[in-house]
Amino acid sequence: MIDNKFSLGFFPTPLQELSKLSKKYPDYKLFIKRDENTGLAFGGNKTRKLEYLIKQALDENCDTIITAGAQQSNHCRQTAAACAIAGLRCHLLLGGEKPDVYDGNLLLSSILGAEIHFTAENRKGEDGEILKTKIENEGRKCFVIPYGGSNFAGAMGFVTAVKELKEQLIEQKLKIDYIFFASSSGGMQAGLTLGKEVYQLDSELIPISIDKEELNGLSLEEAVLNRIEVGALKLNVNKKFNLSDIKLIRDYDKEGYGVVTTNEINAISELVKNEGVLLDPVYTARAFYGMLDFLNKKRIPTNTNILFWHTGGLPAIFKYANDLQ
């Protein structure tokens, strides 16, 4: 199951110390996992999920992928690139109305050859089955990837990411106490939670919620739990999970998805000034702000090692020029 993937990225991604920032927060030692460098058309965490999802589509002899997201969806951009590599057609269902000028991820998805459908308020794949029927009536075979690529197959990318991290920790003789990351459609969180059990990773996950809205009628906590339960059966993980085990930090999603505030802007500036590493304004800046807030308020024990898992998203910077310049 673990090897049943179609190679799309450059792995392992680097695991590095943030040494200047660690000096600024001397109670903690800070590290970063560089998944903005997965290598697939500007990179990001969806590359790991797509290695499993695209393999499944090819195994099922599908010739067309359908997926959905916001216009600045990193998942859709990486899916378009993955389809180009795998020789699959790609249809994207993107929320909102067609803009006059494409930029950021939308521009890249278009350049990468995806056929784009604008779906107004439906930005989480609500129109997928209708489009599938229409395309299959034309004689094609479609594979629908859910919003964010977050089903069990997608989450597998993060089960194996834990294996990758564990090998790096052994090699670097390092123990990580806490892992911060942006959680939005929940596939990464489900995969890391399962991977922690499969590979006995002794680190606590601190997922920062990015999008306060529900996912097809479920809270993100419920969606993550469902995927963990499916995955636990398939991976023979015996641990029983309850809703109360699904930690999700809700303190930083109040402004809503894709809204950039001074918190995000300050987080971008803090990391870039000290380390020269860019964050995206929607996901990683919000999660990084949350992490710094935890450190400033000492919400986790001092003298611990902290990992920030960079999940990508950088093309969206160009869409947010007005907020960032």
- Residue type at 116 in one-letter notation: I
Is 44 an interacting residue with respect to ligand PLP (CB under 6 A)?
yes
Residue number closest to ligand PLP, CB atom: 313
If the CB atoms of residues 56 and 150 are measured against ligand PLP, the closer one turns out to be: 150
Which residues from 267-286 bind ligand PLP, rule CB under 6 A?
280, 283-284
Find residue 69's DSSP bridge partners. Answer: 94
Tell me how many residues contact ligand PLP (CB under 6 A). Answer: 21
Is 45 an interacting residue with respect to ligand PLP (CB under 6 A)?
yes
Cα separation, 221 vs 271, whole angstroms: 29
Is 315 an interacting residue with respect to ligand PLP (CB under 6 A)?
no
If the CB atoms of residues 135 and 284 are measured against ligand PLP, the closer one turns out to be: 284
Task: Please identify which residue in 43, 146, 157, 313 interacts with ligand PLP, judged by CB under 6 A.
Answer: 313
Is 231 an interacting residue with respect to ligand PLP (CB under 6 A)?
no
**What is the distance, to the nearest Å, from the Cα of residue 249 to the centroid of all Cα atoms in its chain?**
16
If the CB atoms of residues 140 and 212 are measured against ligand PLP, the closer one turns out to be: 212
Is 188 an interacting residue with respect to ligand PLP (CB under 6 A)?
yes
Cα separation, 217 vs 202, whole angstroms: 33
Q: Smallest distance from the beta carbon of 211 to ligand PLP, in angstroms?
A: 9
User: Which listed range, 10-18, 83-91, 100-108, 177-185, lies at the site for ligand PLP (CB under 6 A)?
Assistant: 177-185
Q: Smallest distance from the beta carbon of 312 to ligand PLP, in angstroms?
A: 4
If the CB atoms of residues 55 and 227 are measured against ligand PLP, the closer one turns out to be: 227
Q: Smallest distance from the beta carbon of 6 to ligand PLP, in angstroms?
A: 19
Q: Smallest distance from the beta carbon of 180 to ligand PLP, in angstroms?
A: 12
Residues in contact with 107: Cβ distance below 8 Å, sequence separation at least 6, in sequence order: none
Residue of 19, 22, 73, 109 with catalytic role: 73
If the CB atoms of residues 305 and 311 are measured against ligand PLP, the closer one turns out to be: 311
What is the contact mask toward ligand PLP in residues 114 to 153, using x (rule: CB under 6 A)?
----------------------------------x-x---
Angle, CA 109 vertex, CA 105 and CA 114 arms, to 5°: 160
Is 43 an interacting residue with respect to ligand PLP (CB under 6 A)?
no
224, 248 contact by CB (below 8 A): yes
Is 183 an interacting residue with respect to ligand PLP (CB under 6 A)?
yes
- Identify the CA nearest to 36 among candidates 70, 78, 6: 78
Is 75 an interacting residue with respect to ligand PLP (CB under 6 A)?
yes
Task: Please identify which residue in 95, 128, 186, 290 interacts with ligand PLP, judged by CB under 6 A.
Answer: 186
Q: Smallest distance from the beta carbon of 33 to ligand PLP, in angstroms?
A: 12
Tell me, yes or no, if 244 is annotated catalytic: no
Angle, CA 74 vertex, CA 72 and CA 76 arms, to 5°: 90
Write out the residues near ligand PLP by the rule CB under 6 A. Answer: 44-46, 74-75, 148, 150, 182-189, 280, 283-284, 311-313
